[in-house]
Amino acid sequence: MRGFELYDATTVKEAVDLLGKYSGRTVKVVGGGSDIVGGVMKDWVQGKGMPLPEVLIDITTIKDIVGIKTDGGGTTIGAATTLSDIIDNKDLVSKLPVLTNAALSVASPLIRNFGTLGGNINQRPRCWFFRGEDFNCYKKGGDFCYAVTGDNRYHAIIGGELCYIVHPSDTSTALLALNASAKIAGTGGERTVAFDDYFTGPRVDVLRENVLKPNEFMTHVTIPNPASGTKFGWTKLKDRQVYDFALISVAAVFTVSGGNWQDGRITVGGVSPVPYRAKVVEDFLKGKDIKATAKQAAAQIRTVARPMSLNSYKVDLAQGLIERTILDALG
């Protein structure tokens, strides 16, 4: 690994000031560090559009962005809260089980003890071409996507263009289903962005996966209180049960009236460069008897899927798991 400078920030303002102070160099904020340090920097994942960080600002030392608050208005989680703290929070387990189950499905206990919510949401993708030092791909500022003609068994089946990564974050898939928003701080001030608008595909900017600018970082996630009686479902299919990313994940959050779909969201991870909201499935279910329609509704995912040479099996998996997750949530 190449050497770097590390600064501890104790307030959001201090972190923002440090981002401004080192803006002439490659500067990144760091949470648990399992991706940026243990992944990107250790493995020399770099390119013309992705220089290795020279300065890291530790934000886990900022008290204001660690912790979970729930009240009548909703839930606010600090971006530097560890995944273990989210899993262990009894309020969250009962109120937002789709989030705590998603957090529980991440990596391993060791990583969850260090890994933060902000880090999980904003980690870089796991595409093996992107992560391979010798593949100079679009996402690192190169001029090629090796997945198009290469081994794309784990790549995108929906919404890939130019670059075919899948978004790696389990908590993002759950938070998108919960209609969460991100609070962002930066040298230009603070702003709030709904998760619906937070993630960006490769056509917008192939070098990044979200709206964060180099001088900004996520401070909090806010989640509105779900209507009472809301059904929650979470499924994550992975090739091994500890320390693996989602082959397919599905989050289902919906309300029911007399067995019929009232309102809600179905989101899918592992299929697209962004956490994917399966509106085709939601629309199909609208007002219908869920038990009777789930199979047909799940099949709607096929209408938007554009698999690559080696990953059409993921379309079948997505369809099967959307159906299962909806029915599991329904109970």
Partner 1 sequence: MAQIEAVRVVQDAAYAASLSDQDWYALAQDPTWQEMVSEQSEMVAGVIAQYGNKLPGGGQNSAPAELPVFRPFQVIGTDIARIQGYGIVTNTGTYTENLRMAGMLFMRTLRSRYPHAKITSIDTSEAEKIPGVRKILHRGNLPEEYKDVFLGSALPTRFLFNEEVFEVGAPIAVIAADSEHIGDVAIRAIKVQYEVLPAALDMLEAMKSSTPKQFTSNLDGTTIAVTAPLVRGDPTSAKADVVVDNVARKSTEQHVALELTNSLSYWDGDKLNMTYTNQHGHGTRSGLSQALKIPQNKVRVLQTGYLGSGYGYRSGIDLSEVHAAILSKLTGRPIKNNYTRYEDFVTRTHRPEFRNEMKLGVNRDGTISFGIFKVIANVGAQRAGAANGAWVNMQNLYKIPNLRLEAVDVMTNSYKSGPYRCVSHPNGTFALETTMDKAAYAINMDPIEFRLKNLNEVGNPDTKRPFSNIGIRDCITGVQTAINWKNVWHAPKAKQVRPGVYHGVGMAAHLCSHGAGSNPSTGQVIINSDGSVQAVSGTTDIGSGQRTNMLMIAAEALGVPLSTITITPYIDTDNTTDTGGTNGSRMTNTGGRGMYEAGVDARNQVLKYGADKFNSDFANAKADTRVTAADLDMGPDGIVFIKNDPKKTLNLAAIVQFKATSIIGKSDYLWPTTWEQVAVAAHAAEVEVDTVTGTVKITRYVAAHDVGKAMNPFSVRQQVEGGVVMATGAVLTEELLIDKATGLPLNPNLLDYRPLSIKDAPLAEVVIVEKPKAYGTFGGHGLGEPPMGPPAPTIVNAVYNAVGVWVTEMPLTRDKLLAALKASN
Window contacting partner 1 (CB under 8 A); options: 1-9, 199-207, 251-259, 284-292: 1-9
Closer CB to partner 1, residue 27 or residue 137? 137
Closest CB 198 distance from partner 1, rounded Å: 25
Q: Binder to partner 1 among 7, 49, 150, 260 (CB under 8 A)?
A: 150
Q: Are 43 and 36 in contact (CB under 8 A)?
A: no
Question: Is 307 strand, coil or helix?
Answer: coil
| Contacting partner 1 within 199-228 (CB under 8 A) | none
In whole angstroms, what is the distance from residue 268 CA to residue 177 CA?
9
Give the per-residue contact string, 36-75, with partner 1 (x = CB under 8 A; - = no). -------xx-------------------------------
State yes or no: residue 129 binds partner 1 (CB under 8 A). Answer: yes
The residue within the footprint of partner 1, chosen from 49, 67, 74, 132 (CB under 8 A), is 132
216-224 sheet: strands from edge to edge: 68-71, 74-78, 216-224, 181-186, 189-194
Task: Decide: is 3 part of the binding site for partner 1 (CB under 8 A).
Answer: yes
Angstrom distance (rounded) from CA 19 to CA 1: 22
Dist CA 330 CA 87 (whole Å): 22
Q: On the CB side of 6, how many CA atoms lie within 13 Å of its CA?
A: 12
- Element holding 119 (H helix, E strand): helix 117-122
- Pick the binder of partner 1 from 28, 95, 112, 126 (CB under 8 A): 126
Residues 299-328 interacting with partner 1 (rule: CB under 8 A)? 310-311, 313, 316-317, 320-321, 324
Tell whether residue 240 is a contact of partner 1 (CB under 8 A).
Answer: yes
Distances (CA, A) of 299 to 154, 282, 296, 305, 318: 20, 12, 5, 10, 9
Q: Which of 220, 166, 159, 227 is nearest to 193 (CA)?
A: 220
- Confirm or reject binding of residue 102 to partner 1 (CB under 8 A): no
Residues interacting with partner 1, by CB under 8 A?
A: 1-3, 43-44, 108, 126, 128-129, 131-132, 134-135, 146, 149-151, 153, 237, 239-245, 310-311, 313, 316-317, 320-321, 324
